[in-house]
Every structure is written in C-alpha cells, then in structure tokens.
Amino acid sequence: MTAETENEIEKLRELITRARVVLWDFDGPICSLFSGHSADRVATELVEWLESRGLHGLVTEDERESLDPHVVLRAVDRRHPGSDLVAELEERLTQEELRAAASAMPTAYADPLIRTWTAVGSRLAIATNNSPRVVRKYLTSRGLVSCFTPHIYGRTQDLHHLKPDPHCLNRALNAMGAAPSAALMIGDTPSDFLAARSAGVPFLGYARNKRKEKLLREAGATSVVNSLAPVRSVILGQA
Ligand SMILES: [Mg+2]
C-alpha cells in the first residue's frame, strides 16, 4: 500500500468514524437512474412540451443545450415561480423519473454498503433533487427502503430549494436531531458538495470516472472515492 493510499484510507476512516448520520444523494451514489432511459431525451421532451404550448421563449439556447431536466425545470421556475406551469412540468419530470426507476442500474457496492451501515447502527437519509416518490419506488424494489424510512427528502415544488441549496440536508438533520458535524453527505456532483458545505456537513464525493472526480475536486471536495467498496471495508474493519 502506498503512503498516498494509506493517507486516503486514513481520511476516509476519519470521515466515516465521525458520522452518526449519513445523508445520501440518490442518482449516482445509489443508482444510475437514467441508465436505461436517457436524461437527455427527458430534457428534450420537456422543452418540446413547452414549445408545443407556445412557450419556447422560457428556456434559453444554453439551457436547452444543457440536456439536463433540472436545468430546464429551474429555468422555467425562475421566470414563472410557483406557477401551475412549473407544477405541471415538475410532475412530468416525476413521471419520467418513475419510468426510469424501473430500469435504473444499481451502483456497485451501494446495496451492501447501505445494509452494512444500517447494521452497525448508523442512521441513513436521502437528500436528493429527484422526486421522493421515485426514490421510494427504487429502494422498495431493492428491499432497502426500511434502511431510510422515513428520512427521504427530495424535490418539492419549491424548486429554488434544489441543491446546491442545503434545504433537503437541513430537513434531514432537523428531523433526525443530528448536528451537521455528526453527519456525512455522500454525493457525486458539485451541487452536492456545495449544499453540504452550506449546511456544515462533511462531504465524501463518489465519482464513477475521472471526469466526475475532476468536477468534484474543482468545486473544492477533498475526499473522493471511485468505488464504494473501500467505504464498506472501513466500516467492516471498525465494526
Ligand atoms: Mg447525483
């Protein structure tokens, strides 16, 4: 084992040992939600739906080209906050996510890690920008929902509360009576890191490739793993 690896493991051990409560982002660390159902296509369809209603001016060229459903949703919310249009668009995205959940690809080692962490007495929550209905459907299909219930905090129609806003993390901490410093957030995007930083919660990045790792590190994340396997090993080692 190199000194660098040893140092990484030590950092990981420190993060994990301190965490009484673990807040998970959903899409990325737990599963790849849109693996069989393209998020690009969902974003394009949301834009086409707006266009079919004569509302193409609500989304800029850049937002359209982001191919990210959340960017489209947020853009419309900024221009028509709290409107029926936003509510309808949000519901359309939820329906697409529910369809995607049926073909989501579990992240390697996520299921056993969730079970192990629960077994050693840590409390788990979900803090996601996806619909909580989708999270419940997926976790139920994997037999994991009881590891999180009732602490599943996701997108509401208050879209300005989406991460990087720390709202869903704060909801989880308040409901669980946990101090931010006694928690750990696991996420795969800069917005997860920024939300954790705003909430004062230590952060562990999960990056399935070098591109995602670079984005997390550039945002300021200092602990990033490319697999959840070492996280589970650390927990088993200390159990
Ligand atoms: Mg994610």
87 band by pLDDT with thresholds 50, 70 and 90: very high
Residues forming a β-bridge with 205: 187, 224
Q: Rounded mean pLDDT of 78-99?
A: 92
239 band by pLDDT with thresholds 50, 70 and 90: very low
pLDDT digits (tens, 9 = 90+) for 135-155: 999 999 999 999 999 999 999
CA of 61 to the centre of ligand 1 (A): 24
Q: Return the pLDDT at 238.
A: 65
130 band by pLDDT with thresholds 50, 70 and 90: very high
Q: Return the pLDDT at 38.
A: 82
Distance CA 183, CA 23 (A): 7
Residue type, 214: K
Q: Return the pLDDT at 36.
A: 67
Distance CA 104, CA 65 (A): 24
Q: Which two tokens stand for residue 148?
A: 């999180």
Residues 6+ apart with CB under 8 A from 38: none
CA of 183 to the centre of ligand 1 (A): 18
Q: Rounded mean pLDDT of 167-189?
A: 98
CA of 3 to the centre of ligand 1 (A): 30
CA of 125 to the centre of ligand 1 (A): 14
Q: Rounded mean pLDDT of 55-75?
A: 88
Q: Among residues of the chain, what percentage have pLDDT more than 70?
A: 97
Q: Rounded mean pLDDT of 116-125?
A: 97
39 band by pLDDT with thresholds 50, 70 and 90: confident
Give the global pTM: 0.93
Residues 95, 134 contacting (CB under 8 angstroms): no
CA of 218 to the centre of ligand 1 (A): 16
CA of 223 to the centre of ligand 1 (A): 16
Residues forming a β-bridge with 200: none
CA of 186 to the centre of ligand 1 (A): 9
Q: Is the pLDDT of residue 57 over 60?
A: yes
2 band by pLDDT with thresholds 50, 70 and 90: low
Q: Return the pLDDT at 1.
A: 56
Q: Rounded mean pLDDT of 223-238?
A: 93
SS3 of 86-129: the string is HHHHHHHHHHHHHHHHCCCEECCCHHHHHHHHHHCCCEEEEECC
CA of 82 to the centre of ligand 1 (A): 24
CA of 77 to the centre of ligand 1 (A): 21
Residues 6+ apart with CB under 8 A from 188: 25, 27, 28, 29, 205, 206, 207, 208, 212, 216
CA of 111 to the centre of ligand 1 (A): 16
DSSP H helical ranges for the chain: 3-18, 39-52, 61-65, 69-79, 84-101, 110-119, 132-141, 167-176, 190-199, 210-219, 229-238
CA of 110 to the centre of ligand 1 (A): 13
Q: Rounded mean pLDDT of 89-99?
A: 94
Q: Across the chain, what does the average pLDDT equal?
A: 93
CA of 153 to the centre of ligand 1 (A): 14
